[in-house]
Amino acid sequence: MNLIISKSKNSKSLYIQKSFRKNGKSTSKIVKKLGTMEELLPQHNNSEEEVIAWGKKIARKMTEEEKRDRDIVLISLSQSKLLEPMKQTSYNGGYLFLQDIFHSLKLDKICRDIQEEYKFEYDLADILSRLIYSRIIYPSSKLSAYEDSKRFIEQPAFGLHDIYRSLDVLAEKCDAIQEFLYENSRKVVSRNTSVLYYDCTNYFFEIEEERGSCRYGKSKEHRPLPVIQMGLLMDGNGFPLSFVIFPGNANEQPSLIPLEKRIIKDFGITKFIVCTDAGLASNDNREFNTQGERSYIVTQSLKKVKKHIKDWALDTEGWTKGDSNGLDISSVMKSADDGETSEDGIWYKERWINENGIEQRIIVSFSPKYRAYQRYIRSRQIERARRSAENNKKSTNRNPNSPARFLDEVRYTENGEVADNVEIVVNDGRIAEEEKYDGFYAVCTTLEDDIKDIIEVNKRRWEIEESFRIMKSEFRARPVYLQKDNRIEAHFLTCFIALMFIRILENRTGNKLTIEKLI
């Protein structure tokens, strides 16, 4: 390597040049630009001699490094030498696939920027990367993450106390990191922000009293413990886009609009379709997504629509399948009820409705297979309910799918008067009412697209549900040992990034491997 100085009319530029032979002829190429003399002088006491000496030193160093890279290294092996007891001799190299993604997303860069802003000494990129790798490979506590990271080829250059300090910083920069991650992920994978999926879940804490955002609420796992809630926004290709954490006793529905406003402002995403389940389809959320270039597709409970809409939806006449219109599905329903689901496919009907001042299109579908499946599941639940009635016992389980929903308590005396004696009976009327909706499924939307396209978009909501499953089961995301709200948020940030890594790995392997096999 040689230092060369290129002179022009008004400036001098310094380069490192490499000479080599190609096809038997001597040639050279520029391998590094050091800068102009004007830029470098202030860094070297305004002395051209010092600048040139510095440049030659870099050239020598690069020459030595190149020679070292070409050196042949021989490792001797002694077949008689025994391994030292209690000494680590094997290391995990699988994290190197994740390390490549870490650098592809330029997370090391934003960590350096944050480090410069806060002026701390520990290496934030080293800590964040290991928290992500450990969450995927060895999911456990922060203490375990620190110990487990020693199983990687590259050893950690930080202490456990640095991890907890970094969580405070990561929480402060949580929104900025999500924005940065989105921008850089666009260069790594294809992002489809024309369709966004939103859903919520919660994580329970085994504590006796509420603390911070850990509040008593409706646990998704039906545990009587304080929970903290997470809202997750996913793009149309299954990649996580953004998330929010909020108290366990808060209503899920108001969490969507602030998150949408943030991605509009910070991410620059303004034209999209939001797809949610019925629980998040409040009137405010629907109304917000009729504005600008936004639209929505939401699951609609037929039990909650007005009577005339319900009657129209459940009417056996007026259905469409393929190119055939005005069909009657009475015979199809009877076949499904008799266990003869010979006719395959899905029937549709649609109409425009005005609900709470919003013009929207309701699309109802009917599937005989779905009807048969629902009835099979319910038959087993009814069987359990009848056994409970025979034993005069009613479960206290408040799960909406519990057989206890079919049971009533009847208090009586031997003379038939209301009294303290209790009999558990099956409510057949409630069963019949629930059966009316078997096989039917409805969505509401502001779109005028083809029905099949709308249904297809809605079908992909399972991916966001799978994302929650991955975080809860594979990543063991429940933050057992963290107490402060900001550190809990930072913990979920690492889980969110880990989810992005897994989705990118899936993409790179052609979506042919399950999450379990990837990990």
* CB 479 within 8 Å of CB 495: no
Q: What does the domain layout of the chain look like in residue ranges?
A: 2-67, 94-277+461-519, 370-435
Sorted by sequence, the CB contacts under 8 Å of residue 140 that are 6+ apart come out as 134, 148, 476
Residue 222: predicted pLDDT: 76
Neighbours of 11 (CB within 10 A): 11
Q: What is the pLDDT along the chain (519 residues), one digit of tens a residue?
A: 899 998 887 889 999 999 888 887 888 888 899 989 998 999 999 999 999 999 999 999 999 988 887 877 777 878 888 777 767 767 777 788 899 999 999 999 999 999 999 888 889 999 999 999 989 988 877 667 778 878 888 888 888 889 889 999 999 999 999 999 999 999 999 999 999 999 999 988 878 788 888 888 888 777 888 889 999 999 999 999 999 999 989 999 999 999 999 999 999 999 999 999 999 999 999 999 999 999 999 999 999 999 999 999 999 999 999 888 999 999 888 888 887 766 678 999 999 999 888 999 999 999 999 998 999 999 999 999 999 888 888 777 767 788 888 998 887 776 656 666 788 899 999 999 999 999 999 999 999 999 999 999 999 999 999 999 999 888 888 876 788 899 999 999 999 999 999 999 999 988 888 878 887
Determine the Cα–Cα distance for residues 14 and 57; give it in Å rounded to an integer: 13
Task: Give pLDDT, residue 268.
Answer: 95
Give me the pLDDT at residue 26, please.
Answer: 85
Question: What's residue 418's pLDDT?
Answer: 61
Q: What pairing do the DSSP bridges indicate for beta strands 440-445 and 293-299?
A: antiparallel
157-177 burial: b if 16+ Cβ within 10 Å, else e? ebeeebbbbbbebbbbbbeeb
What is the reported pLDDT for 76? 80
The pLDDT, as a whole number, for residue 233 is 97
- pLDDT for the residue 84: 77
pLDDT, residue 489, reads 94
Give the per-residue pLDDT at 221: 77
Tokens standing for 193? Answer: 């922000």
